[in-house]
Amino acid sequence: MPEVQAVKDHDKVKLISFLLEKQFSQQLADVWNIGLNLALRISDLLAIKFDDIQDDRLLIRESKTGKLANIKLNSTTLERIARIRQEHPNHIYLFQSYRNQRAQTIKPAPLSRRYVCRALNTVGEEIKLALGTHSMRKTRGYHLYQNTKDIGRVMKMLRHSSEGVTLRYIGIEQDDVDQDFQELEL
């Protein structure tokens, strides 16, 4: 399985959203767009319940690390969440699966990680990028780093404990470091 990438081009970020909506559903485009803004692992993103959202904050305990994620939601994310809530007032999960919706005996469940991964892989093949469920998290980290050049902030957002892990995770490679040396002249 190839390592997935951060999407470094803003136009490709928008294209991915468009293709997910066109080829799959608005719900998958929402997973992509909200996932970009929350930088959570896919298991935590898909497990978000509407009860986890308090005013303009998301409060969840990360399943992998057990760390508390206390995320202030930006206006774009709040608008998307409000639309989803309005369209599906009886849903428990932000990204609730529509499968078996009519079955009264089956408990509500979120979308599966496998389904989201398959959709991202399909779109990635079309635009020639290695996309997967971690691409949202990596993309958010990459763009925060490009905007701030503050690896500490990126580490805190991703809840990493090592600069090296964070740099590798967001796809900062030797070419990027070389470009920084070339562009910044003192």
Catalytic residue numbers read 41, 64, 134, 137, 160, 169
Longest Cα separation, the chain: 68
Q: How far is residue 33 from each of residues 127, 143, 164, 179, measured CA to CA in Å? A: 17, 14, 27, 29
The DSSP symbol for 49 reads B
**Number of C-beta neighbours around residue 29 at 10 A:** 20
Please give the backbone phi and psi of residue 49, each rounded to the nearest 5 degrees, phi first: -105, 155
Q: How far is residue 114 from each of residues 99, 102, 137, 160, measured CA to CA in Å? A: 14, 22, 17, 25
**Burial profile 72-111: b = 16 or more Cβ within 10 angstroms, e = fewer:** ebeeebeebbeebeeeeeebebbbbbeeeeeeeeeeeebb
